[in-house]
Structure 1
């Protein structure tokens, strides 16, 4: 994971997920997580970006 990806995960989690996975279910889940609880979106973004 690069420094840019880490910063995106912290400050703009949906953008980080969209860049890595594209528009799909992961992005929708991340947007919902960010809407209800921002830290949940950050955790989900790190989880998605760390998957192989």
Structure 2
């Protein structure tokens, strides 16, 4: 599922984080980063997926 989560995080970063962590602070942080800029949201999502 790591590959699926990574691909999903590249396309829609908040959805990838939601799939991995559920609805919590990491999802909120990722939504804010994605609104501020797409690439910070992608980087955050990939880090969340790779660290866990």
Specify the SS of the correspondent of 2:23.
coil
Q: Displacement, 1:45?
A: 0.2
Q: Displacement, 1:8?
A: 0.6
For the aligned residue pairs, the C-alpha RMSD in angstroms reads 0.8
Q: Specify the alignment match of 1:50 in structure 2.
A: 50
Alignment partners' CA distance in 1, 2:51 and 2:23: 16
State whether structure 2 residue 2 is matched by structure 1 residue 25: no
Q: How many residues align?
A: 51
- Which runs of structure 1 show a deviation greater than 4 angstroms over 4 or more consecutive aligned residues? none
Structure 1 unaligned runs (5+)? Answer: none
